Amino acid sequence: MDVQFYGANCLVFSNKDIRIVVDDNLAEIGSKSVAKDGDVVLFTNRQHADLTVEARMVIDTPGEYELGNVSIRGIALRSHLDEGGTNTTAYRLSVGDTTYLVLGHVHPDITDDQLEIIGLVDVLFIPVGGNGFTLDPIGANRVIRNIEPKLVIPTHYEDKALQYEVPQQPLKSALSEMSVEPKETTTKLRLKPGELGDLQQFWVLEKA
């Protein structure tokens, strides 16, 4: 499975059988949508714009889905933008022996029951831009400690090409506050068997 980052919280997972697009709200913040006809499109927030393409499936609520060789589980979590309730969906994608977890504007406090549902995670995609709009570095570190992924990839940070509703923190300063140094920077995530060891790693996925 290849993974590419398109800015904000937008990710594209693809292999020869399927293309999955997560949080393609790019047209709303000054860029171009990347969703195509036939894609499976996931949104972590139910309040999103209507698609202009003929998607194979649109998912914006918790649930379990089997699509070819990919298992998708939407997990209800508390939103960072709300003081109560459960109103954002995290997505756990399992492909072969690798499990990916994509978080949206999640609150840093995740319950033990929710962590049990999330289970073991190989790769975590997590917002770090903060400023009251999404997770800040402190909150992101708290979530990472609780989930304990093997690989962490930050999303949703300052991007001069995007017009965020609330200005986001630059990636460099966010990583500095998190006290982490990325091991690798790449334009496409394509993991090899055994590439993730026992020690947690931070990578930066450059914008496609």
What are 71-99's pLDDT values in tens digits?
999 999 999 776 555 689 999 999 999 99
> What phi and psi values does residue 28 have, to the nearest 5 degrees?
-80, -15
User: Could you give the CA distance from residue 2 to residue 204 in angstroms, rounded to a whole number?
Assistant: 15
**pLDDT at res. 9:** 97
* Interval 125-161: pLDDT, tens: 999 999 989 999 999 999 999 999 999 999 999 999 9
201-205, strands of its sheet edge to edge: 63-67, 70-77, 88-95, 98-102, 123-127, 151-155, 201-205, 184-186
Q: Where are the domains of the chain?
A: 62-205
DSSP labels, 77-103: E-BTT-SSS--EEEEEEEETTEEEEE-
Homologous superfamily, domain 62-205: Ribonuclease Z/Hydroxyacylglutathione hydrolase-like (3.60.15.10)
User: What is the model's pTM?
Assistant: 0.96
**pLDDT at res. 178:** 96
**pLDDT at res. 208:** 93
Share of the chain residues as helix, strand and coil, in percent rounded to the nearest 5: 15, 30, 55
In the block, tokens 């406090």 appear at: 109
* Interval 27-72: pLDDT, tens: 999 999 999 999 999 999 987 888 889 999 999 999 999 998 999 9
Distances (CA, A) of 101 to 42, 54, 107, 167, 203: 12, 25, 15, 25, 15
